[in-house]
């Protein structure tokens, strides 16, 4: 399996966003903003964000199946180009980019798959936004949400302007500080990866060593 397929497994089965609400009770920062205005505010906030850490939880559901898969871990971002997803449950998995290559470690198969970033970005619709090279308004059509979901967040729907092989559309839920608190990714088969973010910290020092990963002895390394 190539890294694109593994990426889908990781971020859509065990895995990848950002989401915020419709009306903030008692808050005027987001109330009354159109979806496009909200997307512009979100883009501006992430352009100001040089580093970010957060805890995440993920729930993945598949059509025609009652089984839902749960995952949780930690996200670290340092612009430009560096990102790390550590899945602590249900299985240890690490997805890490140093801006030049992307490495994916799967503990249960003792494999490390390595691929150039230039190839990897075609399989991850959110990578460019996270690491600072993407633009929501440029890359997506911004629409009203199909549902609100979270009472203290404002939601928007994003549809890739260029057809994406795995992603049909996304819902984002955004808080009053214009940070993504929840991200829902829907693929072309109706599978949903729902990620929520907590303990968000931005613009704090992050060591470059965070983006260096040495797999355990005996790990099979697969270069793509």
Q: What is the CATH number of the domain that holds 125?
A: 2.50.20.10
Classify strands 111-116 and 220-223 as parallel, antiparallel or unpaired.
parallel
Contacts of 185 (CB under 8 A, 6+ apart): 11, 12, 16, 17, 125, 126, 167, 170, 192, 193, 194, 195
Strands (DSSP E) contained in the chain are 51-61, 68-78, 82-89, 93-98, 101-106, 111-116, 140-143, 154-160, 167-174, 180-187, 192-202, 220-223
For 184, the token pair is: 């829902």
State residue 65's pLDDT score: 78
Residue 15 has pLDDT above 50, yes or no: no
- Can you name the residues that pair with 94 across neighbouring β-strands? 86, 105
Residue 179 has pLDDT above 60, yes or no: yes
Domain hosting residue 30, numbered range = 3-223
- Structural domain total, the chain: 1
* CA–centroid distance for 9 within its chain: 14
What pLDDT digit, counting tens, does each position of 44-101 carry? 998 899 999 999 999 999 888 777 888 999 999 998 889 999 999 888 999 999 888 9
Residues 21, 153: contact at Cβ < 8 Å? yes
Residue count (the chain): 224
How far apart CA 195 and CA 202 sit, in angstroms, is 18
Instruction: Answer with the residue of higher pLDDT: 83 or 22.
Output: 83
What pLDDT digit, counting tens, does each position of 129-174 carry? 677 777 889 989 999 998 776 778 999 999 999 888 888 999 999 9
């Amino acid at each position: 399996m190539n890294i694109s397929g593994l990426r889908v497994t990781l971020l859509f089965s065990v895995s990848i966003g950002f989401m915020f609400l419709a009306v903030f009770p008692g808050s005027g920062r987001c109330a009354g903003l159109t979806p496009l205005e909200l997307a512009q505010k979100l883009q501006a906030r992430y352009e100001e964000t040089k580093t970010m850490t957060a805890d995440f939880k993920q729930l993945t559901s598949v059509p025609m199946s009652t089984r839902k898969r749960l995952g949780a871990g930690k996200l670290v971002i340092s612009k430009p180009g560096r990102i790390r997803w550590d899945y602590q449950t249900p299985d240890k998995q690490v997805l890490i980019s140093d801006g030049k290559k992307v490495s994916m470690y799967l503990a249960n198969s003792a494999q490390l798959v390595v691929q150039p970033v230039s190839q990897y970005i075609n399989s991850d619709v959110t990578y460019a936004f996270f690491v600072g090279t993407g633009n929501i308004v440029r890359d997506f059509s911004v629409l009203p949400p199909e549902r609100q979901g979270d009472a203290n967040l404002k939601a928007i729907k994003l549809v890739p302007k260029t057809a994406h092989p795995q992603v049909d559309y996304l819902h984002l839920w955004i808080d009053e500080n214009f940070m993504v608190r929840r991200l829902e990714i829907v693929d072309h088969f109706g599978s949903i990866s729902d990620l929520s973010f907590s303990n968000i910290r931005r613009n704090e020092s992050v060591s470059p060593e965070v983006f260096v990963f040495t797999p355990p002895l005996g790990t099979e390394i697969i270069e793509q």
